[in-house]
Structure 1
Amino acid sequence: MTVTGTEETANGVVRDTHRTAGKLGGSLIASIILGYVLTVACARLLPPDQYATFVTFWGLLMGLGSALSPLEQELSRQSAVAALTGGLAGRGALRAVATAAAVAAAFGLALLVPPINDRLFHGTWELALIVLAGGVAFACQFGIRGLLIGQHQVKHFAWLVVAEPAVRALVLGLLVVATAYQLVPLALAVAAGSFAWLLFVRQGWRLLDVRADGDGWAVTVRRMLMLLLGAALTASVITGYPALVGLLAPGGDRERLGAVFAALVIARLPLTLIGPVQSLAVPFVVRLSTSEAGRHRLRRVLLLGTFASLALAALGALVGTLIGPWAVRFVNGPGYQVDGWAVAGLVWSSVLLVPMQLLTAVLVARAHARRVLITWAVVAATASVLLLAVPGDTVLRAVIALAAAPMTGLAVVLTFVLANSSAGESRETSA
């Protein structure tokens, strides 16, 4: 193929991805709005001390969902690779879903251990069962989403993205009407969205070819466990951060922590929806990497996006300092008091996590599972060490750890992504 031909191919891939992203934009915005409705409503319905427990549950369930999100990216990769030859993902996709579901079930069972349950949920053991059921449902949901986006079934994929928070909002509305908005019923409303995949089973099954074998159990389990562990470390500094704080830096003023966690949920919510964008990025990278022109364009996009994210994070921190405390009180109520510097740290961290997640999607597309794991291990280790070592109260330690961790991770993942982008890069399927 000529240089002009490869450049035209790269341009075609970019244009096609732009169109797909445009179609998804509306569904992502709708999901964000519905997610905010749910979190704000729960903050309004519960006092700050109970909301701190609710956010711990929310963080564990959504953190488990985030930990399972590489399943969506892996299946989108399998589907995209199969689509290059006109095929469909095979039994390897089912093996990946089964592995993820087993991991989710094991995590939920671990939360039922009395010392862990008491420390996280303060005796409300039912929340652990809800996490278990919601986690297994998340595995099925991400599996279907990966198949859909990998085969460019954008319409159904977009509807599934919206259906998840819509189901939660619907159940929450029914609870409010029935005046049954206590801690456990609200948790059930949150978990209900994990079962939205049941509406799309037929579309997902059509995108599987069970006659095609795909990767065997050993390769699938090894790769998925590394990807899931890396994503679990990711979740520990995103949706699961309140639980990490509770385990490593317990104590402190519960009402102040509840206010900070409320601000964190607001700042982090868009990150829970970055998964569809990551899954879109995987086939984008797969197709661009077939030519030198595509690889050159990819490197340029990644560098420009990273520097733009740093500038946006600084601007967001400034805005958070100025209006953050007022915004938290306005959204959640006058009982939620938080300092401007704390909101600045949360916004800074949230913005930097966006390029981090997209850059790790590039590593997933290249099947570099080990590098994904190393990246998020660095982030989680940085946050954990700072939570334990920084002097001061729990709120100060939580904010400093959260602001510093993504900076180290961004440096690591950018180094990995740019270090080896040649045409002959090897896939670490055995890693």
Structure 2
Amino acid sequence: MTEKTAGKSLGVVGLAVFLSAALGYPVLIVAGRGLNPADGAVFLAFWGVVFGIGSALSPIEQEVSRLSAHADLRGGRVGPTALRTVAVAVIAVGVLGAVLALPPVAERIYSADDISLGLIALASSVAFALQFGTRGVLIGFREVKPYGGLLVTEAGVRILLLCALLVLGVTGLLPISVSVALGSFAFLPFLVKARKHVDFVGDAEPWSVVARRTLLLMLSAGLTASVLTGYPAVAKFFAAKEDLDALGSLFFALSLARVPLLLLSPVQAMAVPTVVRLLQDEDGHRRLVSLLIRGTLAAFVLAGLGGLAGWLIGPWGVRLLFGDQHVVAGWAVAGLVWSSVLLGAVLLLAAVLVARKQPGRVLLTWAVVAAMSVLVLAFTPGDMVLRSVFGLVVAPTVGVFVALGLVVRAGSRDTSVTG
């Protein structure tokens, strides 16, 4: 692939990723305006389960794309190891989705013993696993246009279904949730394109090896998702029914406060190769540490400024986008923006650890972040809004120092360290 072709492909994929992420916001706006705050809280808990599991599955795309790229370089098709990777993911999310659909658990997440939302989330999760496998094959074999088409189609299906619901005057919790879940099945028209690159027979790594690697990758991504897309579901688990109105408005404010992470996506994509190249220099580690310390200080300054802006205009922005029924205190929006900026810093520091081939330290970083948020939610006194915001403030603040410390302690430029 020439440099010009590679740049064009990157542009197509980048545009598709941005459009796919941006097209999620109209769905949230429709839900915010069409549902009362209590139902909105339940919907965003459902959204958190679906996309939290989707985030946990993102390494499946990366792993399958890695296997597919190697096969493409050999001039062949990707073999059964990729299929086993996807199969392990399907089984894992199937078991997790079934547990989350059990009445005692579903009641905590969705505030009802009706398991309908849990079953919808289960179906969506299994479809997501198959979708990420399809995406991995497509991008691994440089099928850039179909890959971008799948990303946009997934988000577009949800928009079209929501528009149909609005035309029919249907805006209830269950129909909106179904429209969200159906987007996960957008991979079906693209299976034919991916299928021609797959060899269903031949040598494969043992199931035990594939399962261990796949589950470790998913665990690390799942911990990350618990404080990102999945946080509403985690917070909702600790909430009582009387908290739903306030939590619904807070969760919609959280979706608005996450915009900085959307803008950070291109920087994250560049982080790993940039670090790898930097560490080839004799003085690379020292320069990297100096850059990261300055960057961390800048992140705290930016988080403070963002928090101030969130305090002043955040409540107005939430009402403007999601409706006047959503009232959120300025201090709460400030905390959510602070959290989003520092989570971006943790993501970048984790990318440095990935570049140094230290997956154990990546897992440790996100385990600390996830544990801090859960501990605050479970044991901090005060109402649920305070605990939810405080959990999101404390977790990434601690996580920044943990990740930075793990990077600094890597005292050489040897990237073969596994941590």
After TM superposition, the score normalised by the length of structure 1 is 0.84
Q: How does 1:26-425 map to 2 (within 5 A)?
A: 26-81=15-70, 89-121=78-110, 122-210=112-200, 213-250=203-240, 253-268=243-258, 271=261, 284=273, 288=276, 292=280, 296=284, 299=288, 303=292, 309-361=299-351, 363=353, 368-417=358-407, 419=410, 422=413, 425=416
The Cα shift of 1:161 comes to: 1.7
Moved more, 80-89 or 199-208: 80-89
Q: Is the 8 A contact 2:63 2:136 kept in 1?
A: yes
Percent identity for Structure 1 against Structure 2: 45
Q: Is the 8 A contact 1:249 1:388 kept in 2?
A: no
Moved more, 124-133 or 148-157: 148-157
The Cα shift of 1:27 comes to: 2.2
The Cα shift of 1:41 comes to: 0.4
The Cα shift of 1:114 comes to: 1.6
Q: Is the 8 A contact 1:328 1:336 kept in 2?
A: yes
Q: Is the 8 A contact 1:17 1:284 kept in 2?
A: no
Amino acid at match of 1:109: A
Amino acid at match of 1:425: S
Amino acid at match of 1:74: E
Amino acid at match of 2:53: L
The Cα shift of 1:205 comes to: 2.8
The Cα shift of 1:102 comes to: 0.7
Moved more, 18-27 or 131-140: 18-27
Amino acid at match of 2:217: L
Moved more, 396-405 or 151-160: 151-160
Q: State the number of aligned residues.
A: 414
Moved more, 150-159 or 306-315: 306-315
Q: Whole-Å Cα distance in 2 between the matches of residues 327 and 385 of structure 1?
A: 30
Structure 1 417/51 Cα, relative in aligned 2: closer, same or farther at 3 Å?
Answer: same
Q: Whole-Å Cα distance in 2 between the matches of residues 111 and 119 of structure 1?
A: 9
Moved more, 249-258 or 305-314: 305-314
Q: Whole-Å Cα distance in 1 between the matches of residues 11 and 256 of structure 2?
A: 24
Structure 1 415/78 Cα, relative in aligned 2: closer, same or farther at 3 Å?
Answer: farther
Q: Any idea what SS the aligned residue of 2:113 has? A: coil
Moved more, 343-352 or 131-140: 343-352
Q: Is the 8 A contact 1:309 1:351 kept in 2?
A: yes
Q: Any idea what SS the aligned residue of 2:399 has? A: helix
Moved more, 113-122 or 396-405: 113-122
Q: Is the 8 A contact 2:101 2:122 kept in 1?
A: no
Q: Whole-Å Cα distance in 1 between the matches of residues 153 and 117 of structure 2?
A: 23
Moved more, 377-386 or 200-209: 200-209
Moved more, 185-194 or 403-412: 403-412
Q: Is the 8 A contact 1:43 1:262 kept in 2?
A: yes
The Cα shift of 1:29 comes to: 3.2
The Cα shift of 1:207 comes to: 3.8
Q: Whole-Å Cα distance in 2 between the matches of residues 282 and 80 of structure 1?
A: 21
Residue in structure 2 matched with residue 3 of structure 1 by the alignment: none
Structure 1, residues 256-303: CA drift from partner, whole Å, max 9, x if none? 11110111123336758988986x5698479x5698259949948983
What are the ranges of 5 or more consecutive residues in structure 2 without an aligned counterpart? none
Q: Any idea what SS the aligned residue of 1:292 has? A: coil
The Cα shift of 1:330 comes to: 0.7
Q: Whole-Å Cα distance in 1 between the matches of residues 55 and 266 of structure 2?
A: 11
Residue in structure 2 matched with residue 6 of structure 1 by the alignment: none
Moved more, 212-221 or 57-66: 212-221
Structure 1 364/336 Cα, relative in aligned 2: closer, same or farther at 3 Å?
Answer: same
Moved more, 325-334 or 361-370: 361-370
The Cα shift of 1:28 comes to: 3.0
Q: Any idea what SS the aligned residue of 2:402 has? A: helix
Q: Whole-Å Cα distance in 1 between the matches of residues 342 and 201 of structure 2?
A: 43
Q: Whole-Å Cα distance in 1 between the matches of residues 145 and 118 of structure 2?
A: 34
Structure 1 189/253 Cα, relative in aligned 2: closer, same or farther at 3 Å?
Answer: same
Q: Is the 8 A contact 1:150 1:283 kept in 2?
A: no
Q: Any idea what SS the aligned residue of 1:199 has? A: helix
Q: Is the 8 A contact 1:138 1:194 kept in 2?
A: yes
Q: Is the 8 A contact 2:260 2:341 kept in 1?
A: no
What are the ranges of 5 or more consecutive residues in structure 1 without an aligned counterpart? 1-11
Amino acid at match of 1:77: R
